[in-house]
Structure 1
Amino acid sequence: MIVTSLSYSDGVRPPLAVAGHTDDVLELVGGTLTPAERERAERFTRSGDRRDFVAAHLLVRHCAAELLGTRACMLTVVQRCEECGQAHGRPWLAEAPDVSISLAHTSGYVCAVAGHGRVGVDAEHVTGGPADENLVALALTPEEAKLVGDDNRGLIRQWVRKEALVKRGELTLDRLREADLSALPLVDGLTVPLEWQGRHFLEWTAGTVIASAVTDEPAKLHLLGG
């Protein structure tokens, strides 16, 4: 069965990002995982990591269902590595192949994005202290390094942005310095919409977590659990 979105004035709903703490997502979002997802979840030795994985995979269904105007139980998330054939890699929806999805989880926090066109999302905890010189050398262009200076928060913000671009299929981890995001400000806020070379960044913070979703069109954000 192919799921189609509800009609809007332009025929397409805007991209949607949904995020929340793992405990809130597991309490508020229902659904079940595929056998492949359950098998991957069981491989985690730490219960917290397992809960984050499960919450993120339930949340991406919820996010896509909100976008499509359907129920999460009607959607199947599929992951299949193009290189090894195993059940990991970029996710997609079996019932709605024209809709792109992405998910991320960091300790105790998960997020997801769904939309037409390419999408990507990432989230990371940030700690105080100086920026890691090795990570700066791996991820930042000279202009970005100047902008970040010794600010670890700025470094992690740029890292999250680039990870989201990786999940869109535009970068790889060994080519992060090919994207210069120095034109984007290093700002905090609940929701900060930004644009870079035709890509739309939707950014938000939750305690020590910095998150960023990248979409072709401006996205909306729904935060679960307040």
Structure 2
Amino acid sequence: MTSAGLTSNASAAPDVIATVATSADVLRRPGAGEHLLTAVEKERAARFRHESGRTDFIAGHVLVRLCAADLLGVPAAALTLAQHCPDCDKGDHGKPYLPDHPGIEVSLSHTRGVVAAAAGHRPVGVDVELTDRGGTLLDVAPRVLAEEELRQVREHTDPARAFLRLWVRKEALVKIGRTTLDGLASVDLSGLPLDLPGGAPLLSPFEGFQVLDWVDEAHGAAVAAVSELPPRAVALDALRA
């Protein structure tokens, strides 16, 4: 394990893996860059008004390829990433997938300077948020938390961080299709621990899912990955692609 509690090698590839890294570190990887993206992805990247947002978008779409490539044992450059929105039937947003590898499920998330991605042989959802956003996000707690969750957060010694842990877990559940943004308050995660013993990634069961979450102090980020099989947190430098 690394100091962040992430797996330091991927020799025995698990069924579901998740990783988090800075956008800069992802794009410093040999062979990583915008050239890996499809024309649709490049067009979406060009829409960002600020270069930082564009960089995070590209890094997230590269990182998810690295995760999938690690599982498949192929170069990241060999993978095509697509998206589809079932509501409007457009292909420039919505759930990401690999058209040429329907047996591999993927998910990605990006925030300011930090990206997360996951890939596996089962549906997977991942979310990342900066820990310094906890206080700002806390304002929406009454609208997105169940009653018992709200009580736990208000009584916690660090309410902002406690809420952030619930937030990334719920966002990951949205990504996997367990709930929607409008239905967050109906999902009650109050039975899951709010503190991470020793700071290591914590795996918790929830309604047939396995919820893995951790705080990556090096990157100042809270991360959650959800799948039917136990996800494993893997360090960026352990990905083989």
Establish whether residue 75 from structure 1 lines up as the match of residue 84 from structure 2. Answer: no
The size of the alignment, in residue pairs, is: 216
SS of equivalent to 2:132: coil
User: How big is the shift at 1:132?
Assistant: 5.5
Structure 1 residues 110 and 132: alpha-carbon distance in aligned structure 2, compared to 1, 3 A threshold: closer
Q: Which amino acid aligns with 2:143?
A: L
SS of equivalent to 1:149: helix
Q: Percent identical across equivalent pairs? A: 41
Match of 1:153 in 2: 161
Q: Is the 8 A contact 2:127 2:171 kept in 1?
A: yes
Structure 1 residues 205 and 130: alpha-carbon distance in aligned structure 2, compared to 1, 3 A threshold: closer
CA RMSD of aligned residues (A): 2.1
Question: 5 Å matches for 1:124-203?
Answer: 124-127=129-132, 134-149=139-154, 151-188=159-196, 189-203=199-213
- TM-score under structure 1 length normalisation: 0.88
Q: Is the 8 A contact 1:24 1:225 kept in 2?
A: no
Cα offsets for 1:147-173 (capped at 9, x unmatched): 111601111111110000000011110
Deviates more, 1:70-79 or 1:36-45: 70-79
Structure 1 residues 95 and 125: alpha-carbon distance in aligned structure 2, compared to 1, 3 A threshold: same
Q: Which amino acid aligns with 2:19?
A: V
1-structure distance, mates of 2:105, 2:134: 36
Structure 1 residues 159 and 129: alpha-carbon distance in aligned structure 2, compared to 1, 3 A threshold: closer
Cα offsets for 1:78-114 (capped at 9, x unmatched): 0122222141000000111121100001111111111
1-structure distance, mates of 2:161, 2:138: 13
1-structure distance, mates of 2:201, 2:82: 30
User: In proportion to residue count, which structure has more helix?
Assistant: 2
2-structure distance, mates of 1:78, 1:112: 15
Establish whether residue 116 from structure 1 lines up as the match of residue 121 from structure 2. Answer: yes
Q: Which amino acid aligns with 2:222?
A: I
User: How big is the shift at 1:136?
Assistant: 1.2
SS of equivalent to 1:166: helix
Q: Is the 8 A contact 1:99 1:117 kept in 2?
A: yes
- TM-score under structure 2 length normalisation: 0.83
Cα offsets for 1:122-157 (capped at 9, x unmatched): 011123886766411221000101111160111111
Q: Is the 8 A contact 2:20 2:223 kept in 1?
A: no
Cα offsets for 1:38-92 (capped at 9, x unmatched): 0000101111111110000000011001111211111110012222214100000
Q: Which amino acid aligns with 2:21?
A: G
Match of 1:96 in 2: 101
Match of 2:63 in 1: 59
Match of 1:5 in 2: none
Q: Is the 8 A contact 1:111 1:123 kept in 2?
A: yes
1-structure distance, mates of 2:52, 2:195: 30
5+ long unaligned stretches in structure 1? 1-8
Q: Structure 1: which 4+ aligned runs deviate by more than 3 Å?
A: 128-134
5+ long unaligned stretches in structure 2? 1-11
Q: Relative CO higher for 1 or 2, CA cutoff 8 Å, sep ≥ 6?
A: 2
1-structure distance, mates of 2:106, 2:91: 19
Match of 1:105 in 2: 110
Deviates more, 1:170-179 or 1:119-128: 119-128
